[in-house]
A and B are shown apart, each in its own frame.
Chain A
Amino acid sequence: MNSKDFIKLNNDMREKLSEENKEIYEDMLVYIRLSGNKSEQQTEEVLFELLEHLLEAQKEGKSARDVFGNDFKKYCDDLIAEIPGEERSFALVFGGYIVLYFLGILSTFYGLGNFLIHQFFDVGSSDYTFSIGSGITVVILDLLILSGFIIFVLRWLKNSTFKVKKPNKWVEFLRLWLISMIFIGATVGSPIIMPSFGSEITIPVLSFAIVGIIFFIISFILNKKFRITK
Chain B
Amino acid sequence: MSLRSQLLKGVLEGCILSIINRQSTYGYELSVRLQEFGLSDVSEGSIYPILLRLQKEKLIEGTMQKSDLGPKRKYYHLTEDGQHALREFMEQWENIKLPVDNILNKGGETD
A79 to B51, CA, bound (A): 10
Per-residue CB contact flags for chain B residues 44-61 toward chain A (1 = under 8 Å, else 0) read: 111011111101100000
Choose among B27, B46, B55 the residue that contacts A52 (Cβ–Cβ < 8 A): B27
A contact residues around B44 at 8 Å (CB): 53, 57, 66-68
Output the nearest chain A residue to B74 by Cβ-Cβ distance: A49
A53 to B26, CA, bound (A): 10
Using A53-B48, A56-B28, A68-B45 as known contacts, list a sample of 8 further A-B pairs with CB atoms less than 8 Å apart, ordered by residue number in A. A45-B62, A49-B26, A52-B27, A53-B44, A81-B49, A82-B49, A82-B53, A83-B52
Output the nearest chain A residue to B62 by Cβ-Cβ distance: A45
Shortest Cβ distance from B107 into chain A, in angstroms?
A: 35
B contact residues around A52 at 8 Å (CB): 26-28, 71, 73
For chain A residues 1-21, which have a beta carbon within 8 Å of chain B? Answer: 1, 9, 13
Of A42, A53, A68, most buried by chain B (CB within 10 Å of CB) is A53
Decide if A78 is an interface residue (CB 8 Å cutoff): yes
Chain A interface residue count, CB cutoff 8 Å, equals 24
- Asked whether, in the complex, the Cβ of A79 is within 8 Å of the Cβ of B71, the reply is no
Choose among A45, A57, A75 the residue that contacts B74 (Cβ–Cβ < 8 A): A45
A contact residues around B100 at 8 Å (CB): none
Output the nearest chain A residue to B50 by Cβ-Cβ distance: A82
The 3 A-B pairs at the shortest CB distance, nearest first, are namely: A82-B52, A68-B45, A56-B28
Shortest Cβ distance from B25 into chain A, in angstroms?
A: 12
* Contact residues of A: prevailing secondary structure: helix
Choose among B45, B55, B71, B72 the residue that contacts A67 (Cβ–Cβ < 8 A): B45
A contact residues around B43 at 8 Å (CB): 67-69
Q: Given that A13-B71, A56-B28 are contacting pairs, would A79 and B56 also be in contact in the complex, using a CB cutoff of 8 Å? A: no
For chain B residues 3-26, which have a beta carbon within 8 Å of chain A? Answer: 26
Decide if B69 is an interface residue (CB 8 Å cutoff): no
- Asked whether, in the complex, the Cβ of B45 is within 8 Å of the Cβ of A50, the reply is yes
Decide if A113 is an interface residue (CB 8 Å cutoff): no
Decide if A215 is an interface residue (CB 8 Å cutoff): no
- Asked whether, in the complex, the Cβ of A53 is within 8 Å of the Cβ of B27, the reply is yes
- Asked whether, in the complex, the Cβ of A46 is within 8 Å of the Cβ of B71, the reply is no
B contact residues around A84 at 8 Å (CB): 56
Decide if A97 is an interface residue (CB 8 Å cutoff): no
A-B contact pairs, 25 of them (CB 8 A): A1-B72, A13-B71, A42-B52, A46-B48, A46-B52, A49-B27, A49-B48, A52-B28, A52-B73, A53-B27, A53-B28, A53-B45, A56-B28, A57-B28, A67-B43, A67-B44, A67-B45, A69-B43, A75-B45, A78-B49, A81-B49, A82-B49, A82-B53, A82-B56, A84-B56
